[in-house]
Chains A and B, each alone.
Chain A
Amino acid sequence: MTGNALLSVEDVSVELPTPRGNLRAVDHVDLTVGAGQTLGIVGESGCGKTMLSRAILQLLPKKAKLTGRVMFDGQNLLQLSPEKLRKLRGRSLAVVFQDPMTSLNPVLTIGTQLIETLKEHLELDEATAVKRSIELLAAVGIPAPEQRLAQYPHQLSGGMRQRVAIAIALSCEPKLLIADEPTTALDVTIQAQILDLLAREQRRRHMAMIIITHDLGVVAGRTDEVAVMYAGRVVERAPTPALFKKMRMPYTEALLAALPRLDAAPHTPLPAISGRPPDPTRPLKGCSFSPRCRYAVARCHTEKPALAQADSLEHQFACFHPIEVHAGAGA
């Protein structure tokens, strides 16, 4: 917990009412991101990573119940008026979503969407906003940016659309950019280009970034810290090199081992994680990973392990039987 954190998420929980009872999507999460730092949040579908990002952005569904504190740049976001929040989002708190087709407005031109953002938040005049838009599109690697201003999202490819979404997110020089699965919908070659683009812009602007993904490969070389989420909780949290060198949580290990690896021979059976995540409306008494964990003992099924400090101040994990030996690159 650094004193000069740009963002600190303190004991945040999110509950959503469903016909089957309350669903605890995020369960007592604490996180911090310093200025210029990159945090990776990794987890499978339904682990609560997107709900957490929406809690930070204050973009939760109306019925969702949020508890805890989200401190951003010295302000508690939960106490801001809707008007102040709206000013903050887009200006200093920006987001890039997974699907650029749904995050861009299909009936407005790229130019309108960019220029509107600039005029609204930076109070630029039309001519300056147009000039700035062209610069932004060029900066995110869009060829012939002048012509693009008059085009609609459907006239661009998926990769180009994501570049436009990034240009809009970067347009007001945000202090924090949240990228929620920014490359999941894209091809692997385009993915590499978009991740490079985000990293480059982040360095240039000294911006903090949260990358949300299900792919440990995406966070490995591009983040300072990683938080692994499972069933709404952060189950392991460490500086990226420490996490990959010495993963302690069996879930993190299993997640990495389940990735097909290029250096493995063809037809090598993958160490799959059996079963599936627990029903979030029926929380387990013990560790939520215990039914799928190969190290689980009786205590794991009855008692919930806390996210506790371990080897170093930064490396935390929630497990009674952490992996002791060097876990390395998968089983």
Chain B
Amino acid sequence: MMLQISPTALPSASGEPLLEVNDLVVEYPVGAKTVHAVSGVNLQIARGETLGLVGESGCGKSTLGRAVLQLRRPTSGQVLFDGHDLTAMQGDALRLMRRRVQLIFQDPIASLNPRRKIGDIVAEPLVISGVKDPEKRKELVYEVLSAVGLDPALVVGRLPHEFSGGQCQRICIARALILNPEFIVCDEPVSALDVSIRAQILNLLEEMKARFGLTLLFIAHDLAVVKAVSDRVAVMYLGRLCEVGSSEQLFASPAHPYTALLIEAIPVPDPDVRPTETVPVGEPPSPIAPPSGCRFRTRCPRADQRCSDEMPELRPVVPGQLVACHHPLI
């Protein structure tokens, strides 16, 4: 049921891709059934680019992020990082490659070991990668903690519980940066944070990206947050991509009815914009038994017979914007 898309039609930005995901499938068993978490995703991320990945809970966006890093081995498909196929790598080769990629999680407090000191937590990647000289490690830890806006001398000897959520996320970012990676998957890095702290962390990520020349896969369910940091955005629904395009374009004129629905659902901080009573669109179906054809058809106002018979392919609608829909809005 997977469709092959020719490489020229792939969603990509200008420039050589650092990461290329080809026809990635991730399925896992639940009892006698199979969860179709990711079903044939194609993506490219250019060097220095931020690709935003949005979708509702359970759409497979986190699974996709983890499969890219081989934290969950994909069922099939390819993940090319700088030309190397990560899915074919094992053991030491994969470990070496992993130094170039990192992950930042949603819950900053839960992702720090509560019984270890901040200095040790941030230095851990160095220990694993074989930096034996403690002085060298200390120097690098101090450098990266200052980079994320913390005072190293005050921080290294303390435990995670002594810090707020925003500060813990800074520590997680420091840990992710210490090996000087090229690519970071940020999985909902600000969803657990307050509005005022969220802005600080988003600004920090942007700053770090520029300073360390990073490429980011930014996963979130909040479209406004994704737009603030992304060059391009991919919208995911029930394991498949529905739309990919430059953030400006995608938000100005969404082509997929699902993208339009997501944009409409964002509460606008303006009392003159009376929220339109949204169409009761219900909730996503289970990824155990996804609908035939277009997976969004059960909630789509435009769905017809063709949508249940035929799976729409991701195809360009305008230059730089791809949509998987039989009845796109543009």
Chain A positions within 8 Å of B, measured between CB atoms, are 44-45, 141, 143, 157-160, 187-193, 195-196, 200, 214-218, 220-222, 240-241, 243-245, 254-256, 258-262, 264-274, 276, 329
Contact = CB atoms under 8 A, between A and B. Distances in A.
Interface residues of B, number: 49
Interface string B259-301: 0011111111111111101101111000000000000000000
Interface string B157-176: 00000001110000000000
Interface of B: 56-57, 164-166, 194-200, 202-203, 206, 221-225, 227-231, 247-248, 251, 261-275, 277-278, 280-283
Given A188-B265, A260-B202, 8 more contacts: A44-B195, A189-B265, A191-B267, A192-B264, A195-B267, A221-B270, A262-B227, A262-B266
A119 to B, nearest CB: 30
Contact of B275 (A196, A269, A273, A276): A196
Given A189-B261, A265-B248, A217 B164 contact: no
Nearest to B232: A266
A262 B270 contact: no
Contacts, number: 145
Given A160-B283, A220-B271, A221-B274, A266 B199 contact: no
Nearest 5 pairs between A and B by C-beta? A217-B267, A272-B199, A270-B199, A260-B228, A273-B196
A260 B275 CA distance: 18
Given A158-B57, A272-B203, A187 B270 contact: no
Nearest to A159: B283
A261 B224 contact: yes
Contacts of B203: 269-270, 272
A216 B269 contact: yes
The interface centre, meaning the residue of A188, A244, A273 with most chain B CB atoms within 10 A of its CB, is: A188
B225 to A, nearest CB: 5
A79 B117 CA distance: 49
A260 B271 contact: no
Residue with the greatest number of chain B CB neighbours at <10 A, chosen from A243, A259, A329: A259
16 contacts: A44-B194, A44-B196, A188-B266, A189-B278, A189-B281, A193-B278, A195-B267, A196-B275, A217-B267, A220-B273, A244-B270, A258-B199, A260-B202, A266-B228, A270-B203, A272-B196
B227 A266 contact: yes
B198 A187 contact: no
A192 B275 contact: yes
A245 B56 CA distance: 32
B65 to A, nearest CB: 17
A241 B271 contact: yes
Nearest to A258: B199
Contact of B196 (A158, A189, A258, A265): A258
Nearest to B198: A258
Nearest to A239: B271
- For A256, A266, A274, the residue with the greatest tally of chain B CB atoms inside 10 Å of its CB is A266
Contact of B228 (A157, A159, A270): A270
Contact of A272 (B56, B200, B267, B269): B200
Contact of A195 (B206, B269, B275): B275
Nearest to B165: A45
B56 A187 contact: yes
B239 to A, nearest CB: 16
Contacts of B247: 266
Contacts of B231: 266-267
A215 B198 CA distance: 12
A52 to B, nearest CB: 17
Contacts of B194: 44-45, 214
Contacts of B271: 220-221, 240-241, 243-245
Contacts of A188: 56, 221-223, 262, 265-266
A187 B195 contact: no
Nearest to B210: A267
A221 B266 CA distance: 12
B61 to A, nearest CB: 12
Contacts of B224: 259-262
Nearest to A271: B199
A241 B277 CA distance: 19
Contact of B225 (A243, A244, A260, A276): A260
Nearest to A329: B270
A272 B224 CA distance: 15
B273 A221 contact: yes
